[in-house]
Amino acid sequence: MNTSLAEKIVEDKKNGISDKEIGKKFGVNLKLIEKAVTQQLGVNISNPSKRKKKIISLDPQSFELETSTVWSFKSRGKWATHNGNYRGNWSPYIPRNVILRYSKEGDIVLDYFCGGGTTAVESKLLNRNFIGIDINSSAIELSKENLDFDSDLFSPNPSIILKVGDARNLSTIHENSIDLICAHPPYADIVAYSHGNPSDLSSRDVGGFLDEIEKVARESYRVLKPKAHCAILIGDMRKNKNVIPLGFWTIGKYLEAGFKIKELIIKRQHNCKTTGFWYNNSVKYNFLLLAHEYLAIFEKTKTNEEYENRTTALSKGFKIDKEIYLESTTVWIFNKNDWEGKAISNLFKRYSAKKPLLYKNSAKDASVDLIVNIGPKNIDACFKYSEKNLKDGGILAIFCEDTRGKHGLIKSTAMEVEKGLRGNKSFTLKELVILSIENGKPKNNADIEITHKYILIYIKAQINGK
Ligand X SMILES: C[S@@+](CC[C@H](N)C(=O)[O-])C[C@H]1O[C@@H](n2cnc3c(N)ncnc32)[C@H](O)[C@@H]1O
Give the nearer residue to ligand X in terms of CB position, either 247 or 341: 247
The answer to whether the beta carbons of residues 226 and 187 sit under 8 Å apart is: no
Give the nearer residue to ligand X in terms of CB position, either 200 or 263: 200
Residue sitting closest to ligand X (CB): 115
Give the nearer residue to ligand X in terms of CB position, either 235 or 394: 235
CB atoms within 10 A of CB 378: 15
Q: Which of 47, 51, 49, 24 is nearest to 34 (CA)?
A: 47
Give the nearer residue to ligand X in terms of CB position, either 122 or 402: 122
- Residue 182 beta carbon to ligand X: minimum distance, rounded to whole angstroms: 9
The answer to whether the beta carbons of residues 402 and 411 sit under 8 Å apart is: yes
- Residue 72 beta carbon to ligand X: minimum distance, rounded to whole angstroms: 18
Give the nearer residue to ligand X in terms of CB position, either 82 or 260: 82
The answer to whether the beta carbons of residues 162 and 132 sit under 8 Å apart is: yes
CA dihedral 235, 239, 242, 243 (to 10 degrees): -10
Cα separation of 26 and 344, whole Å?
48
Cα angle at 374 between 435 and 266, to 5 degrees? 20
Give the nearer residue to ligand X in terms of CB position, either 200 or 401: 200
- Residue 215 beta carbon to ligand X: minimum distance, rounded to whole angstroms: 9
Instruction: Write the CA distances from 171 to 214, 222, 288, integer angstroms.
Output: 16, 10, 42
- Residue 170 beta carbon to ligand X: minimum distance, rounded to whole angstroms: 10
- Residue 448 beta carbon to ligand X: minimum distance, rounded to whole angstroms: 21
Instruction: Name the residues that contact ligand X, by CB under 6 A.
Output: 86, 88-90, 112-113, 115-116, 118, 133-136, 139, 166-168, 184, 186, 193-194, 199-202
Residue 313 CB burial class (10 angstroms; 0-12, 13-18, ≥19): exposed
- Residue 200 beta carbon to ligand X: minimum distance, rounded to whole angstroms: 4
The answer to whether the beta carbons of residues 158 and 188 sit under 8 Å apart is: no
